[in-house]
Amino acid sequence: MAQRSLAKRWWYDGLQVLARLAGIALFRIRWRGRQHIPRGGGVLVLSNHQSHFDPVLVGMACDRRLNYVARQSLFGFLPFRWLIYSLDAIPIDRDGLGMSGLKETLRRLKRQEMVLLFPEGTRTRDGDVQRLKPGFNALAKRAGVPLLPVAIDGAWQAWPRSRATPWVDVVHVQIGRPIMPEEIARFNERELVDEVERRLHECLLEARRLRRRSMLSRR
């Protein structure tokens, strides 16, 4: 496990607490399936991508520190660059992880950390799970860590890519059962992509069901 300075750990933990309080108050965020999060070891977290909120929404669900993979272009805006660097974000190029991003992601997984990827590659246009890019296959095979599927519902309604600013809405996050390394070894590249996609769809359907029930109960 990586040793970070006390200041960095306090900074991350403090932001997480503030984000949880704001998220629950503004978006009535609920998380389900947190018992599926491995308590130790490297974990590659694979989530659907609905909005700019998504890294924070997944990070709030995890008591363990979560590493974020971010597009290189996001590092161009100075205040945001400072923020994501302070959270140890891993920069990637737009077409894929790139060699440096791949190496750093593998390094953190082998240090028994959790890393978040969005295998769709970009935010959804309609709120549904898009076809996944196969880039995570190499990471899964080489790192030998579990893949943790996570689905978000409601973030697209709160902040779709077509809107410049967010609205208040109800958000649910569903965490699925992890795909363990011994399971991963049995799949070829296409089969693994299909299996992750299937589990993301299952998690999204459950998140939608819980979100609708939550909204109906408040009417």
Whether 187 maps to a domain, the answer reads yes
Helix axes 136-143, 189-217, angle to 10 degrees: 100
* pLDDT at residue 72 in the model: 74
Is the confidence at residue 115, as pLDDT, over 80? yes
How large is the average pLDDT for residues 56-65? 95
* pLDDT at residue 94 in the model: 57
How large is the average pLDDT for residues 95-101? 64
Is the confidence at residue 71, as pLDDT, over 60? yes
Enclosing H/E stretch for 45: strand 43-47
Enclosing H/E stretch for 30: strand 30-32
Read off the pLDDT of residues 14-43 as tens digits, 9 standing for 90 and up.
999 999 999 999 888 999 999 999 999 999
Whether 1 maps to a domain, the answer reads no
Cα separation of 7 and 128, whole Å? 39
Read off the pLDDT of residues 133-173 as tens digits, 9 standing for 90 and up.
988 988 888 999 999 999 999 999 999 998 988 888 999 99
- With bands split at pLDDT 50, 70 and 90, how would you rate the model's confidence at 57? very high
* pLDDT at residue 21 in the model: 94
Q: Does the model's pTM come out above 0.85?
A: yes
- CB burial of 7-26 (b: ≥16 within 10 Å; e: otherwise) equals eeeeebeebbeebbeebeee
- With bands split at pLDDT 50, 70 and 90, how would you rate the model's confidence at 100? confident
Whether 92 maps to a domain, the answer reads yes
- With bands split at pLDDT 50, 70 and 90, how would you rate the model's confidence at 217? confident
Percent of the chain with pLDDT over 90: 68
Cα separation of 119 and 134, whole Å? 7
Cα separation of 190 and 179, whole Å? 15
Cα separation of 93 and 97, whole Å? 6
* pLDDT at residue 180 in the model: 97
Domain region containing 15: 6-217
- Report how many domains make up the chain: 1
CATH at residue 126: 3.40.1130.10
Cα separation of 186 and 189, whole Å? 10
